[in-house]
Amino acid sequence: MTMTASDKYTYQRTVLCLARVLAGIQPTPWDKVQTLFRYCPQENAAGVFCLDTRAQDAVIALGIYFLEGGCQHEGQIVPYLLRLAKCLPKAVWIDDARSNKVERVRIPSAEKFSFCLNTLLSDIAAKCPDSREEIILNQVETLSALANIVKSSRDSSSAPPPIILCKATVPLLFGLARSMGRYASNDPPLLCRIFPPELLPIQKGGGRDGTGSSSSASGTCGGSFSSSERLAATHRKKKKKKKKK
């Protein structure tokens, strides 16, 4: 089933809202994080990840949760991200052709995702000293693997077809090279600047009584996630009151 442009952005908004709701729960139980994690792509028996637009959005949302939630569950999330990054050279890319029509800049999806994933890893390396060395080593090894594939493509009979080189291998290399070693020296992290929290529009004077209407705001993330955000905000207020006492 092909995803339309509106489906793409609705799904992206939804998973990003979910990520930020979870980040507002301190600490976040792992079983709640799994409601987001289960949407992330998993490798098959051959060690290959299949990446469509929704899978990519879910990984980015998981990264937003990790960075904004105080780097919780590092032992579960970081190894998964490292494994995914290392397997990108042999991943299967599923293009959602209809959703791409609205994008003005036609950067290959492989390059965009490689850039976002490795920006996330660089952000994590800056925040999590225990994972820093492993992240840098992973990025260097993946960069070397991609460069070797491109270098040997003219001489090796086992090299990927030219279409794969153009749509996946070279874009992955560019995305990784652009994102290595880039991080913000102060908050928010770079990935959170690329995908900032969405400002909910407030409609003023919508009713006859002069009061504002919040219908447009609640519709932005979907009713269920707007309710979740309110619950998370209430939870944070209660914690602040307890600290004051």
Residue 79 and residue 31 share a domain:
yes
Quote the domain boundaries for residue 240. 203-245
pLDDT of residue 226: 45
Count H helices and E strands in the chain, helices first: 12, 2
Q: Choose the weakest-confidence range: 21-25, 32-36, 145-149, 236-240.
A: 236-240
pLDDT of residue 232: 53
Residue 209 and residue 159 share a domain:
no
CA angle, 206 then 208 then 228, to 5°: 45
**CB proximity list for 58: less than 8 A, separation 6 or greater:** 15, 36, 39, 40, 41
Residue 82 and residue 110 share a domain:
yes
Tell me: the pLDDT tens digits for 84-99?
A: 999 999 999 997 654 5
User: pLDDT-derived band of residue 210, with 50, 70 and 90 as boundaries?
Assistant: very low
Residue 130 and residue 106 share a domain:
yes
How do 50-51 and 92-93 pair as beta strands?
parallel
pLDDT of residue 106: 79
pTM above 0.75, yes or no: yes
**CB proximity list for 232: less than 8 A, separation 6 or greater:** 21, 24, 25
pLDDT of residue 43: 93
pLDDT of residue 140: 97
Number of domains in the chain: 2
Residue 237 and residue 219 share a domain:
yes
